[in-house]
Amino acid sequence: MQSHTMELPRLIVVGENNMSEIGEFLFSLNKPKIVSLISGINVQKILKLKIEKSLKLKKIKFVWHTSKDNQVDSIKQIEKDVKKDHSNLVVGIGGGRSVDTAKMVSFNLDLPFVSVPTAASHDGMASPFVSVKTDKPHSIVATAPLGVFVDIDVIKKAPSKLLASGCGDLIANIIAVKDWQLGHKKTGEYYGMYSADLATMSAKIVMENSSKYSKEGLDARVIVEALISAGVASCIAGSSRPCSGAEHLFSHALDKIAPGKGLHGEKCGIGSIMMGKLQGQDWKKIVKTLKEVGAPTTAKQIGLDKDEVINALMIAQELRPERYTILKEVNMTKQRALNLAKSTGVI
């Protein structure tokens, strides 16, 4: 059997109104003297003072870096700047982009990295994967975070559609795991039952509680923990396999065809409906769950037109030919794509 590496986060804190304890958290990881903080402008406006105060208490020096987008050039520039900090730790604070940037920069500079998500819109907070705009349309592998620090109070204040998008990214796991099983059967690739079950569990917790959420609102803490656990499932699998199948390829195809329309988790949720049907899963239950958590189930809701959906379905598998998914088993002609999207109510 081939050897298999599992790189996991060492310390994860999920608290409420605990941002003022971040200094202590970072200190407990590797007693840093200087940290490089990467975040967007909005996050800085809200959290800067609190974070600085907490760092000063532990005598940790800091340098802020502002992340603007996830284009390669912007990340390279931040990397150059961070190098000059001579810091012992890179911290990404934000909804996704800043965490991704920090993950990439720390990987390239061989520094430990800490993830501080301020929104729970996808499962990247604890995973070793980054979505950067490169020639590769899908995520690339970096390092798992050394620590993950979450203030649920901050997550709750973010727009609710972000948390709903996180649910879409979780539901995707049931499609991804089924694709992984198919790939294992067809190509003999490694399949990890433990990480597959762990990823499935994160999806199930949303599916089983969605009707409650539709009445009482989303439970931010449960969703954050499920997203962390999904990231850990990827760490254990040593690849994004348990959390990324054909529905993610569909989302990546849309990133290419219709950039800027819809959030990652929203697109994966819609993709899950259609791929679920192809896989013979209970796709109507996926629709029901997405509706109950307040995530979109139609192309129109995220501003996509019919042709964009059809084209995305047709090119999805080509974007990552080595990843065996249900789309390999279907000759996705224009007509078939149209029928699939129509019959599931996506268009």
- Least spacing, CB of residue 27 vs Zn ion, in Å: 32
- Least spacing, CB of residue 103 vs Zn ion, in Å: 14
- Least spacing, CB of residue 72 vs Zn ion, in Å: 20
Residue with Cβ nearer Zn ion (65 or 138): 138
Residue with Cβ nearer Zn ion (122 or 241): 122
Residue with Cβ nearer Zn ion (203 or 258): 203
141, 111 in Cβ contact below 8 A? Answer: no
- Least spacing, CB of residue 312 vs Zn ion, in Å: 15
Residue with Cβ nearer Zn ion (65 or 122): 122
Residue with Cβ nearer Zn ion (116 or 175): 175
Q: Which residues bind Zn ion (CB under 5 A)?
A: 122, 169
- HEC string of the chain equals CCCCCCCCCCEEEEECCCHHHHHHHHHHHHCCCEEEEEECHHHHHHHHHHHHHHHHHCCCEEEEEECCCCEHHHHHHHHHHHHHHCCCEEEEEECCHHHHHHHHHHHHHCCCEEEEECCCCCHHHCCCEECCECCCCCCEECCCCCEEEEEHHHHHHCCHHHHHHHHHHHHHHHHHHHHHHHHHHHHCCCCCHHHHHHHHHHHHHHHHHHHHHHHHCCCHHHHHHHHHHHHHHHHHHCCCHHHCCHHHHHHHHHHHHCCCCCCHHHHHHHHHHHHHHHHCCCHHHHHHHHHHHCCCCCCHHHCCCHHHHHHHHHHHHHHCCCCCCHHHHCCCCHHHHHHHHHHCCCC
Residue with Cβ nearer Zn ion (255 or 292): 255
- Least spacing, CB of residue 17 vs Zn ion, in Å: 28
- Least spacing, CB of residue 78 vs Zn ion, in Å: 23
- Least spacing, CB of residue 147 vs Zn ion, in Å: 21
Which among 68, 64, 66 is positioned nearest to 52, based on CA atoms? 64
Task: Return d(Cα 300, Cα 326) in angstroms, integer.
Answer: 25
- Least spacing, CB of residue 269 vs Zn ion, in Å: 10
Residue nearest to Zn ion (CB): 169
Residue with Cβ nearer Zn ion (79 or 169): 169
Residue with Cβ nearer Zn ion (192 or 271): 271
Which among 116, 99, 96, 234 is positioned nearest to 166, based on CA atoms? 96
Residue with Cβ nearer Zn ion (169 or 225): 169
- Least spacing, CB of residue 55 vs Zn ion, in Å: 31
Structure tokens at 85: 């900090």
